Amino acid sequence: MTSKPLDSPAASGRAREQLPGGGVRGFDKAAWERQIAGCRQPSSWRAGWQLVNTLGPYLLLAYVTFLSLGLSWWLTGALCVVEAALLVRLFIIFHDCVHGSFLRSRVLNDLVGIVTGVLTFTPYRYWQHEHLVHHSSAGDLARRGMGDMWTMTTQEYLQSSRWRRFCYRVARSPLILFLVAPLPVFVISQRFCRRPTTSRERHSVYLTNAALLGVAVACSAVIGIWTYLALQMGVMLLAGAAGIWLFYVQHQFEDVYWERGKDWDYSAAALQGSSYYKLPAVLRWFSGNIGFHHIHHLSPRIPNYNLQRCHDSGLLPGKVKPMTLLSSLNCLSLRLWDEQSKRLVGFNALQ
């Protein structure tokens, strides 16, 4: 039976597939959820401290970065890098709010999500819908197209027109993904409703746009519009590139999980279709533990500040092979899903 997300009433509790690293079949998700119930509980003090040590430094650094303009462009650039790293961490807080896992209070959780959504140029309710669709369909070839990265099978690519192949090659090139795409994706695309929406989702987009306009006008009045745009767009480019990279390696690795329709399984997709990105401690802090992505997809209600604790509990069956910074670079050459060998391959595999 195909299992559903754990937050769904129809969750089945069993995974059909063999887990990586010699795991066991018939993984009982419901039992695992009971075992790690403590990890699923939001902590008001940990969430509050995370806001203090992330939002506070981010706002302070934005001011210091402006002051550095009269001193050294090298210093300004270095400060922008740190500011962008903090913005990535703010996005992880926003992401937790989307799942309703950051704070116990639903009202406060939504409030933090809306505010961090403005800071990250992402409309809270609109993005929430797309992201929850991603969680319910990741790894399902029959349900690609929302909240995921454009991935074609080798057969689909071979049967495509030359123009579509060209577009796909361009879209999947590292230059486009990490240098060109960040600003259009976060600054431009998310200012519009690109699909049929509910009124709440539309209002989320409109209110976020209004708030961003207000911030831009206020900052421009103080430091000048071109200074504001240069600093803000520079930080957004760096943070957006880092965010796209993290999302890329989370679901674009050689032995990732993809199945079609009735053969798809939620638990297998989480444990085999989401990576364990083992990052150095400082990068793990700035990325809000999102490297434990296999655990996050298995149980999205675990707050980011509890993912390490859940991982260290040793309750997951078998060992999920970690991806390191060095080994993650291999993902850049992978472009297509080969349904015969059940792995991601590069364009050279077509020769």
Residue 106 has phi, psi (to 5 degrees) of: -65, -40
Q: Cβ-count burial of 39 within 10 angstroms (0-12 exposed, 13-18 middle, 19+ buried)? A: buried
Note whether 76 and 284 are within 8 A (CB): no
From CA 277, how far away is CA 171, in angstroms rounded? Answer: 24
Segment 178-184 mean pLDDT: 95
Neighbouring-strand partners of residue 153: 337
The pLDDT tens digits for 1-16 are: 344 443 433 333 333 3
pLDDT at 13: 33
Q: Which amino acid is at 65?
A: T
Segment 74-98 mean pLDDT: 97
DSSP 269-333: HHHHHS-EE---HHHHHHTTTTTBHHHHHH-TTS-GGGHHHHHHTT-SSS-PPEE-HHHHGGGGG
Angle at 328 between CA 322 and CA 329, to 5 degrees: 160
Segment 144-161 mean pLDDT: 92
From CA 238, how far away is CA 182, in angstroms rounded? Answer: 8
Q: Hey, is 1 helix, strand or coil? A: coil
Q: What does the block give as tokens for 70?
A: 């009269």
pLDDT at 26: 64
Segment 314-326 mean pLDDT: 82
Given the structure tokens 């349900």, which residue do they identify? 143
Please determine, for residue 163, whether its predicted confidence score (pLDDT) is greater than 90. yes
**Domain range summary for the chain, segments of one domain joined by +:** 14-151+173-333
Helix (H) or strand (E) holding 344: strand 343-345
DSSP state letter for 167: H
Q: Hey, is 153 helix, strand or coil? A: strand
pLDDT at 34: 85
Q: Which carries the bigger pLDDT value, residue 262 or residue 209? A: 209
Note whether 144 and 263 are within 8 A (CB): no
DSSP state letter for 19: P
Please determine, for residue 160, whether its predicted confidence score (pLDDT) is greater than 90. yes
Helix (H) or strand (E) holding 183: helix 182-183
Q: Hey, is 90 helix, strand or coil? A: helix
CA nearest 54: which of 78, 29, 84? Answer: 84
The pLDDT tens digits for 276-308 are: 999 999 999 999 999 999 999 999 999 999 999
Please determine, for residue 150, whether its predicted confidence score (pLDDT) is greater than 80. yes
For helices 73-98 and 44-67, the axis angle rounded to 10 degrees is: 150
From CA 108, how far away is CA 104, in angstroms rounded? Answer: 8
The pLDDT tens digits for 333-342 are: 999 999 999 9
Kindly give the pairing relationship between strand 27-28 and strand 152-153. Answer: unpaired
Q: Which amino acid is at 140?
A: D
Note whether 301 and 101 are within 8 A (CB): yes
CA nearest 102: which of 303, 287, 285, 296? Answer: 303
Helix (H) or strand (E) holding 176: none
Neighbouring-strand partners of residue 276: 292, 322
Task: Express as a percent the part of the chain with pLDDT over 70.
Answer: 92
pLDDT at 323: 94
